[in-house]
Amino acid sequence: MSQTMRLTNFGRNLTWQPEHFAQPTSEQEVLDLLNQHRGKQIRVIGRLHAWSEAAKCNEVSLDLRNMSSITLHHEGDDHWVEVGAGCRIKDLILELDRQGWTLPSVGLIMDQCIAGACATGTHGSGRHSLSHYVQSVRLATYDAETGQAVIRTVDEGDELRAARCAIGCLGVVTSLRLPIRPQYTIREQIRYRQIRTLEAALDAEEEYPLQQFYMYPWLWEFAAQHREEDRDNKRSSVAWLYRLYWLISLDIFLHLEFLFLVRICRGWGIRTLFRSFLPKTVIENWVVSDTAYKQLTMQHSLFRHIEIEIFVKRSHLPGTMKFVEQFLRLGGGERDALAPEMRSQLEPLGLFDELDAFCGKYLHHYPICIRKILPDDTLISMGSSDDEAIYSVSFISYARPDDRAGFLMMADLLARSTAALFGARPHWGKVNPLPPKTLVDLYPHIGRFKQIADQYDPEGVFRNEWMQSVLSAVDSSDARSSDNPVSTVSDSTEPSNPLRNS
Ligand SMILES: Cc1cc2nc3c(=O)[nH]c(=O)nc-3n(C[C@H](O)[C@H](O)[C@H](O)COP(=O)(O)OP(=O)(O)OC[C@H]3O[C@@H](n4cnc5c(N)ncnc54)[C@H](O)[C@@H]3O)c2cc1C
């Protein structure tokens, strides 16, 4: 059934009305819809949690929430789940938990659908992104000879690496196969006084491989959420109290404070909150073990916000964090915040006028979360890497949707500066302001990705305007011939910059 529908994403920064909207309930219905709308632009929406234009489509939007079956398989040492593309991650995780299993990785929330999360390289901390783990996908696309819609299974080689994170460009994913592991518990504690610096936070990584850490703006110090798998695999007796503490004091009360300071006080009090109160009010060294997904997630969808997240290699993280501090101080009104060394690195980028105009236009008001992503075996997820681990650095704003000009100016300048200085990639599913050519230059394997996307979708009907402009920029980029086998493509297109290794 086709209907008209106005769609708005979680962040309320995008609204569109596709000509046709449908919620198929089976693969056959997906194929019928594809045949019915042959030649039109077709895209699937997940739970519309992306802030980027990833899900936008003006012609045919499909919502696969009714295709959410979950089937567990066990063959010898192999354990996996076959899951319908539209299944909400929360429903999947709860069903797996009921049977004593879980996913190898999960992000901060579980509200996305599984195909939507994989399509954009959604990640948590200390593991690969979800996309990396995908073992096969069933994909509805058009047969090149007959033009009829068909189902293809993609389960090996570069095609699988492309399909793992494809931002909808290969076709309609109808189901995915993901490995599962026995449910486990994670020990967690928050530490600030023993951390404070980036070096200390990184040093703790070996002992706490699943940790994520934060830089407090305006204090410019670090705190860590130390996490490790609990070898005893036992939930603490006070785990329920810890959950209640997180929910009331952090997920609700702290966020209400941010909303009050940003929306009512217009930023007044933010610096004092970070310098004098926040680090002291978080309970430190309370060691609690709880079921993995409960420790790894929070109620982050409770209050509407907007986010940009950039991804850099481990060796570029110190330089990136130094830049971030100076850049945000500039936004907060410190005209001399950029150190001379930083200024000379920025000079060739031609961004000075814009950076000057940025001074005093944006007061950052949320802890900057840093997470480690193990190198993904994908072609274009943000975590894809042939060598080093990747670190994500996130910037969140709780400004009202109609009052985000400062945030968007910050996001645009941040993305362009850090892409040039550190090869930083913005999340495909979060605010992603980079021009197509710059984006393409950040992904050494995107030439191969485009080759596969062209093979699966020669007419480009599964690309929206954004993805069409990105993939069109691949042709004009010189360094990555799509004839190169992926394994021999080098990372040589990264701009060299001494700041990156500082
Ligand atoms: C509160 C909040 C917290 C978040 N936390 C994290 C986090 O911890 N880590 C992280 O990495 N990201 C995080 N994100 C980003 C989020 O995971 C991504 O934007 C994700 O893509 C959203 O999934 P969705 O189901 O809402 O998909 P949508 O936003 O609806 O779509 C995303 C993309 O998936 C494609 N797609 C969806 N289903 C299919 C299908 N069946 N076939 C083909 N293509 C499909 C769409 O076309 C689109 O390109 C968060 C977002 C929010 C709002």
Give the pLDDT confidence of 25-40 residue by residue, as tens digits.
999 999 999 999 999 9
312 pairs with which residues across the strands? 391
Would the CB of 116 count as within 6 Å of ligand 1?
yes
Least Cα distance to 119 among 137, 96, 141 occurs for: 137
Would the CB of 161 count as within 6 Å of ligand 1?
no
Per-chain mean pLDDT for the chain: 93
For residue 16, give the amino acid letter: W
Question: What's the average model confidence in pLDDT over 463-492?
Answer: 63
Dihedral (CA of 399, 400, 401, 402) sign: negative
- C-alpha 132/C-alpha 379 separation (Å) is 10
pLDDT band with cut points at 50, 70 and 90 for residue 114: very high
User: To the nearest whole percent, how much of the chain has pLDDT over 70?
Assistant: 94
Helices (H), 239-301: 239-245, 255-259, 270-272, 278-281, 292-296
pLDDT reading at 95 higher than 90: yes
Measured from the Cα of 123, ligand 1's closest atom is 11
Residue 475: its pLDDT value, please?
76
Residue 190 contacts residue 224 (beta carbons within 8 Å):
yes
Measured from the Cα of 430, ligand 1's closest atom is 19
Question: What's the average model confidence in pLDDT over 351-362?
Answer: 94
pLDDT band with cut points at 50, 70 and 90 for residue 486: very low
For residue 256, give the amino acid letter: L
Residue 280: its pLDDT value, please?
82
Would the CB of 113 count as within 6 Å of ligand 1?
yes
Residue 428 contacts residue 439 (beta carbons within 8 Å):
no
- C-alpha 49/C-alpha 46 separation (Å) is 8
pLDDT reading at 494 higher than 60: no
Residue 150: its pLDDT value, please?
98
> 37: Cβ–Cβ under 8 A, 6 or more apart, which residues?
20, 59, 60
Write out the two tokens for 376.
């993904």
Would the CB of 442 count as within 6 Å of ligand 1?
no
Sort residue 292 into left (φ over 0), alpha (ψ -120 to 50) or beta: alpha
Q: Coil, helix or strand for 229? A: strand
- C-alpha 312/C-alpha 472 separation (Å) is 24
Ligand 1 centroid to Cα of residue 147, in Å, is 29
Residue 476: its pLDDT value, please?
53
Sort residue 216 into left (φ over 0), alpha (ψ -120 to 50) or beta: beta
Ordered structural domains, the chain, with CATH: 7-63 (3.30.43.10)
Write out the two tokens for 502.
């500082």
The closest residue, in CA terms, to atom 44 on ligand 1 is 168
Question: What's the average model confidence in pLDDT over 261-286?
Answer: 90
- C-alpha 82/C-alpha 70 separation (Å) is 6
Would the CB of 112 count as within 6 Å of ligand 1?
yes
Neighbours of 444 (CB within 10 A): 22
| Alpha-carbon separation of residue 320 from 215, 310, 342, 422, 472 (angstroms) | 12, 10, 11, 7, 29
Write out the two tokens for 184.
């486990």
Least Cα distance to 11 among 420, 408, 462 occurs for: 408
Write out the two tokens for 166.
């494809």
- C-alpha 147/C-alpha 187 separation (Å) is 53
Residue the block writes with tokens 């993901």: 178
Higher-confidence position of 383 and 265: 383
Report DSSP letters for 79-133, one per residue: EEEEEETT-BHHHHHHHHHHTTEE-S---S-S-SBHHHHHHTT---SSB--HHHH
Beta strand 185-196 pairing with 288-291:
antiparallel
pLDDT band with cut points at 50, 70 and 90 for residue 501: very low
> 428: Cβ–Cβ under 8 A, 6 or more apart, which residues?
50, 52, 54, 119, 120, 121, 165, 167, 380, 381, 382
Q: How do residues 151-174 score in pLDDT, each as one tens digit? A: 999 999 999 999 999 999 999 999
pLDDT band with cut points at 50, 70 and 90 for residue 279: confident
Ligand 1 centroid to Cα of residue 432, in Å, is 13
- Ligand 1: residue of 21, 41, 44 to mutate (most ligand atoms within 8 A of CB) is 44
For residue 396, give the amino acid letter: I
pLDDT band with cut points at 50, 70 and 90 for residue 498: very low
Residue 481: its pLDDT value, please?
43
366 pairs with which residues across the strands? none
Residue 202 contacts residue 211 (beta carbons within 8 Å):
no
- C-alpha 39/C-alpha 147 separation (Å) is 10
- Ligand 1: residue of 122, 130, 174, 212 to mutate (most ligand atoms within 8 A of CB) is 122
pLDDT reading at 307 higher than 80: yes
Dihedral (CA of 277, 281, 282, 285) sign: positive
For residue 446, give the amino acid letter: I
Report DSSP letters for 280-345, one per residue: HHSPPS--EEEEHHHHH---TTSS--EEEEEEEEGGGHHHHHHHHHHHHHHHTT-TT-S-HHHHHH
- C-alpha 464/C-alpha 53 separation (Å) is 8
Residue 267: its pLDDT value, please?
83
